[in-house]
Amino acid sequence: MAMRKVYFILGIHNHQPVGNFPEVFEKAYQDAYLPFIKAMERHPRIKWSLHSTGILWEYIADKHPEYLNIVRAMVKTGQVELMTGGYYEPIMPAIPDRDKKGQIEKLTHFLKKTFGYAARGMWLAERVWEPSLAKALADAGVTYTVVDDAHFAAAGCDVDKLRGYYVTEEQGVPLNIFPISQRLRYAIPFQTVETTIEYMGSVARDGGSPALVMADDGEKFGLWPETFKHVYQDGWLERFLNALEQNLDWIEPVTFSEYLRLAPPEGRVYLPTASYFEMSEWSLPEDAQEAFEGIVRQFENRTDVKRFLRGGFWRNFLTKYDESNNMHKKMLRVSGKIDELRHRKKGAKAVPAAVLAAATDALYASECNCASWHGVFGGLYLPHLRTAVYRQMIEAERIYASAADVKPRWRRTDFDYDGRPEVLFECKGQNLYITPHRGGALFEWDILHKGVNLLNVLTRRKEAYHQRLREFVANPRAAASGVKTIHDLIKVKEQNLDQYLHYDWYRRASLIDHFIHPATQYDDFRRAQFGEQGDFVLGNYTPAVEGKKLVLKRDGVVWDNQSPFSVTVTKEITPAASGLKVSYTLTNRQRHGIDIVFAPEFAFAFSYMLDGENGVFENRRQWSRKDEIFSIQLEMRFSAPVTLWVFPLETVSLSESGFERTYQGTVVLPVYPVHIPARGGVRLDVILTVD
């Protein structure tokens, strides 16, 4: 059969998260972004499409303006097309429509101002698609976007026959959609150049004038482990570009926009809620993820079956991880506050444009998706990314609190959208978020002028890949060498990581009320393998606001030698100018005295662990910790002498560079053995001050 022309669309997406370290930005530039564009500069006949996020464009413009000059030259000759998107790479379906439009228009304006280019195509962050997006994107000036062929498979399409682009609509508003070939995404740059060219040839022999799309992360060309040597030093990219040039008689590289002008759509399509295939695995709960991965392996070579396999979708992360949901729901709350500033009631003092712009940009920066989920990249498990997200949200909130002249008050609202109200205290200095129905815990404590959530810690959870770690530790030689995709690579950053696999049975927060077995030791509690004798940790507390303080009360049970004892815990939370006071009253409702060990847990998200900080500290009335990076000092004072158990909260997670142990915060546990007389009570005050 005669060879027909194949149109090849190469799309590159470059991004670094809000809050990532400057040295990571620089390494990505030197190892991936710069060598890639220099290679493309040497091959002017190879057209391609480029998307970089606003935060990355800002870094490059500041540190490496020479890169912008190369892009300008390519734009002028038509070699490169620039794509817009969310300025700070948000998951589009997860943010309000007003923010979708604002984020896209911000990046579109930047590209027009910087390069004189009117971008109409859009990179969709993590290719997270929901049908309602078609109208929202089109309303922001977008004419096409790009998703994975897995999205089309979920709609019943045969991915082996996908070519070109398709049209969808929402409420009669159309949008063009290109499918990315997973086969090409996995082949480039990990398989031989000959394999990729032969695949294109097989498509060309099928007839017609098909377009094949390979659009993926630019970091895979040099930044991912082992790829710099493979792509540049060993010459994979140069060989690939040479091969394209040697076959220009039947392979024609084009941009997305160029192909839209060259060819009509292949047809109409309605895609279900979806993301790329790996994301559908990662977003499932751990047990379901393990089961799903087993099914995928079972049918790895059965394309007729695999095309119908689907896991979860991105929003599942909001149920899988409370911490992810916390950031998301706070973002929605802050977005509403900033929108309130934009549309102030008649007669209210107008907010200066510069102030509103600063608050809006901080909000947009907080919508960066990278800290909100977890798969093969560190994501949610990286404290510095979560810290950066909170810093931006809190900064927007600080501007709002000042502009709106917020008065201190407690209010009940369903903050996390679980159908049950939380109790929030908000003022110009700090926020305190309490969940009465889950142990009366304090789960967020924002210091507004520092932009810090002091409770930004992470619960230790079992992850599906932990089994792979155990298998690797047992047999390291089983991990084959060679260049692999980021999804298959197995490395460990330190020995015996499996010894740190401890799992919590409750969400880590503060004011968690434990009654622990007297025989419990420091290491038992640290490993979450201790005897809990009360029903207060996950229990429901009744809240009541009394003046400036919140009173939480629970009539519960404490067991001792298989016998239940009726105990009431009352904790009063009183905000102060620079902290809060917590007053605990433990009341014995029995007709005889009881001996118990009360231990209210506190977990703080410091930026690092001090040497010698962890351990057992006897007979203490005070504990303090200075964090140089956050520029804060936290002090705890106790009304009675207590024993303190202090230990790091550490997780074992998977990132692009391998399995790693990560410090997530410091747990401080006052251990308070007490005798409560019959029908009597004892009191313990804890004063927390932030300097």
Of 216, 241, 274, the one marking the end of a domain is: 274
| Residue 557 and residue 624 in one domain | yes
Q: By CB neighbour count within 10 A (0-12 exposed, 13-18 middle, 19+ buried), where does 172 fall?
A: exposed
Q: Tell me if 566 is assigned to some domain.
A: yes
Contacts of 94 (CB under 8 A, 6+ apart): 128, 314, 315, 328, 369, 372
| Residue 433 and residue 536 in one domain | no
Q: Tell me if 425 is assigned to some domain.
A: yes
Contacts of 93 (CB under 8 A, 6+ apart): 128, 129, 130, 132, 133, 273, 314, 315
State the Cα–Cα distance between residues 345 and 324, nearest whole angstrom. 33
HEC readout, 96-149: CHHHHHHHHHHHHHHHHHHHCCCCCEEECHHHCECCCHHHHHHHCCCCEEEEEH
The predicted pLDDT at position 674 comes to 94
Query: CA separation (Å) from 428 to 392, 416, 446?
Result: 16, 22, 10
In angstroms, what is the C-alpha Rg of the chain?
A: 28
| CA neighbor of 144 nearest in space, from 197, 215, 219 | 215
| Residue 295 and residue 410 in one domain | no
Look up the domain containing 304 and give its range: 276-316
Query: CA separation (Å) from 455 to 74, 383, 399, 553, 574?
Result: 47, 11, 21, 22, 18
| CA neighbor of 689 nearest in space, from 581, 572, 548 | 581
- The kind and range of the H/E element at 374 are none
Residue with tokens 């195509």: 121
| Residue 135 and residue 158 in one domain | yes
Q: Tell me if 310 is assigned to some domain.
A: yes
| Residue 17 and residue 35 in one domain | yes
Query: CA separation (Å) from 374 to 370, 384, 464?
Result: 8, 14, 12
State the Cα–Cα distance between residues 133 and 155, nearest whole angstrom. 16
| CA neighbor of 402 nearest in space, from 380, 428, 436, 382 | 428
Q: Tell me if 285 is assigned to some domain.
A: yes
Cα-flanking dihedrals φ and ψ of residue 502, to 5°? -115, 145
Q: Dmax of the chain from CA atoms? A: 96
Which of 41, 97, 139, 217 does the annotation list as catalytic?
217
Tokens of 63: 């540190």
Contacts of 456 (CB under 8 A, 6+ apart): 323, 383, 386, 387, 390, 444, 605, 665
Cα-flanking dihedrals φ and ψ of residue 159, to 5°? -65, -25
User: In the chain, which stretches have pLDDT less than 50?
Assistant: 1, 480-487
Query: CA separation (Å) from 408 to 335, 413, 426, 500?
Result: 20, 16, 6, 42
658-676 and 441-447 beta bridge pairing: unpaired
Residues in the chain, overall count: 691
632-655 and 615-627 beta bridge pairing: antiparallel
| Number of domains present in the structure of the chain | 4
* Cα three-residue angle 430-432-436, rounded to 5 degrees: 170
| Residue 81 and residue 230 in one domain | yes
Q: Tell me if 458 is assigned to some domain.
A: no
| CA neighbor of 416 nearest in space, from 324, 285, 549, 286 | 324
The predicted pLDDT at position 486 comes to 47
| CA neighbor of 416 nearest in space, from 336, 338, 330 | 330
State the Cα–Cα distance between residues 562 and 568, nearest whole angstrom. 19
Enumerate the β-bridge partners of residue 673.
Answer: 597
Cα-flanking dihedrals φ and ψ of residue 195, to 5°? -60, -45
The predicted pLDDT at position 471 comes to 87
121-123 and 144-148 beta bridge pairing: parallel
Which of 126, 130, 463, 532 does the annotation list as catalytic?
126
| Residue 375 and residue 308 in one domain | no
| Residue 244 and residue 311 in one domain | no
State the Cα–Cα distance between residues 60 and 176, nearest whole angstrom. 30
Of 220, 248, 274, the one marking the end of a domain is: 274
State the Cα–Cα distance between residues 340 and 400, nearest whole angstrom. 9
Residue with tokens 């989920």: 373
Q: Tell me if 466 is assigned to some domain.
A: no
Residue 126 among the catalytic residues: yes
| Residue 292 and residue 325 in one domain | no
Residue 198 among the catalytic residues: no
Q: Tell me if 328 is assigned to some domain.
A: yes
Is the peptide bond between 131 and the residue preceding it cis, with omega within 30 degrees of 0?
no
251-254 and 409-413 beta bridge pairing: unpaired
| Residue 407 and residue 283 in one domain | no
Q: Tell me if 472 is assigned to some domain.
A: no
| Residue 36 and residue 97 in one domain | yes
Instruction: For residue 500, give the CATH number of its domain.
Output: 2.70.98.10
Of 246, 274, 302, the one marking the end of a domain is: 274
| Residue 258 and residue 291 in one domain | no
